[in-house]
Amino acid sequence: MARVAAIVNQKGGVGKSTTAINLGAYLAQRGERVLLIDMDPQANATSGLGIGSNGELAGCMYDVLLDGRPLEEIIVSTAVERLHIAPASIQLVGAEVELVSSLARELKLRRALEKLPEGRYERILVDCPPSLDLLTLNALAAADEVLIPVQCEYYALEGLTQLMRSIRMVREELNPGLEIGGVLLTMFDARTNLSRQVAEEVRSFFGGRVFKTVIPRSVRLSEAPSHGMPVSLYAPSSSGAEAYAAVAGEVLGGD
């Protein structure tokens, strides 16, 4: 069975999509067959991999969650060998309301994943919206572990208590095996005391579950999505690329 990781933080702009794209790319480049599922109506992971830029998608996660379309039918390949994506679109905005009246509404993604051919992927990364809504709940119910990107800025820890409460609730009600796979410090600026203080706070709060590698603020990392490619293809020698390569190494070493 593929290992499923939900990339979650209800705060926006903390690097969820950046992490999904670049961790997925480096894991694929290290030999894993990786599926990235975009559950965010903003579709940043989709556009960041150059998918749907011409407006043409054979299908998206809305079709899977609301219409019961097989996940296999909407998956597309990317510029990175062994990295595939199940794309999102703005249609997902309506999914939250439409799912409310659905039977087993929190389990739609899990059921879709169960129908994928055995052995097709070794790892599945789910990019979640910046909220603890039904789309995120579906990701948590389907996941083996949670990866939490935390921005090294003021208020970084705000909301993490609520997130931990949600994870606990999902464990109790839907998915007893859900673990915290890791906490990733993002947008770290070594020149500021604030970044260092936040990093220390997060490490004291989560202990050994925090990745050793921190993701620095990086212009190349910010530019790569506008070119529709991961940083490993756009600027492979940049500090951001080296950091995500190291995180991929930590993920593989921890399996």
Q: What is the pLDDT of residues 59-78, one digit of tens each?
A: 999 999 999 999 999 999 99
The 3-class SS string of the chain reads: CCEEEEECCCCCCCCHHHHHHHHHHHHHHCCCCEEEEECCCCCHHHHHCCCCCCCCCCCCHHHHHHHCCCHHHHCEECCCCCEEEECCCHHHHHHHHHHCCCCCHHHHHHHHHHCCCCCCCCEEEEECCCCCCHHHHHHHHHCCEEEEEEECCCCCCCCHHHHHHHHHHHHHHCCCCCEEEEEEEECECCCCHHHHHHHHHHHHHHHHHECCCCCECCHHHHHHHHHCCCHHHHCCCCHHHHHHHHHHHHHHHHC
Token pair of 25 as six digits: 């790319």
- Report the pLDDT value the prediction gives residue 18, as an integer from 0 to 100: 97
pLDDT digits (tens, 9 = 90+) for 88-119: 999 898 887 888 888 789 999 999 999 999 99
Domain 3-254 sits in CATH at 3.40.50.300
Q: Is 108 exposed, middle or buried (0-12, 13-18, 19+ CB in 10 A)?
A: buried
- Report the pLDDT value the prediction gives residue 175, as an integer from 0 to 100: 97
* Beta carbons within 8 Å of 213's beta carbon, 6+ residues apart: 184, 243, 246, 247, 250
pTM to 2 decimals?
0.95
- Report the pLDDT value the prediction gives residue 55, as an integer from 0 to 100: 62
* Predicted confidence band of residue 156 (pLDDT cuts 50, 70, 90): confident
CB-facing half-sphere around the CA of 243: CA atoms within 13 A: 21
pLDDT digits (tens, 9 = 90+) for 40-50: 999 999 999 99
